[in-house]
């Protein structure tokens, strides 16, 4: 099989379709967190990766979307929270059902 110029143009795009989703780092999530916020995060057992499928910061009613670029904020403490995060104060947002697994 000989490759035409058209094939050479299309091949990189087709190769990308077969690749797994490439994760890029979330922007804004490394914003410094003050001591008071750290203390509150520990008290609420905040984690950046939820252990509970379907219960994530980005479907919690206290989540403030995109407050820190790709990361959101939380009404309970300052600084960024990961969209896939979780804490003991999680409560379902009426805007995003708890069964939703991502943004
Ligand atoms: S209250 Fe909601 S948005 Fe805030 S850290 Fe806990 S789960 Fe995330």
> For residue 13, how far is its CA from the centre of ligand 1 (angstroms)?
38
- The pLDDT tens digits for 13-69 are 444 444 466 778 889 999 999 999 999 999 999 999 999 999 999 999 999 999 999
Cα–Cα distances in angstroms (integers) from residue 42 to residues 45, 57, 78, 92, 97, in the given order: 5, 16, 13, 21, 26
The kind and range of the H/E element at 78 are strand 77-81
Per-residue pLDDT of 90-102, as tens digits, reads 999 998 776 554 5
Smallest CA separation from ligand 1 atom 6, residue: 87
Task: Pick 27-81's CATH classification: 3.40.50.2300, 4.10.490.10, 3.90.180.10, 3.30.465.10.
Answer: 4.10.490.10
Domain ranges in the chain are 27-81
**CA 79 to ligand 1 center in whole angstroms:** 12
Question: How far apart are alpha carbons 95 and 92 in whole angstroms?
Answer: 8
Query: 90 by DSSP, 3-state: which?
Result: coil
Enter the tokens of residue 30. 């490394």
Whole-model pTM? Answer: 0.75
């Amino acid at each position: 099989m000989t490759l035409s110029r058209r094939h050479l143009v299309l091949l990189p795009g087709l190769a990308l379709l077969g690749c797994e989703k490439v994760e890029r780092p979330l922007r804004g999530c490394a914003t410094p967190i003050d001591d008071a916020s750290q203390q509150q995060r520990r008290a609420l057992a905040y984690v950046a990766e939820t252990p509970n499928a379907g219960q994530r910061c980005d479907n919690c009613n206290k989540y403030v979307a995109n407050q820190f670029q790709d990361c959101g904020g939380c009404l309970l403490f300052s600084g960024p929270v990961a969209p896939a995060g979780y804490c003991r104060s999680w409560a379902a947002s009426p805007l995003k059902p708890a069964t939703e697994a991502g943004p």
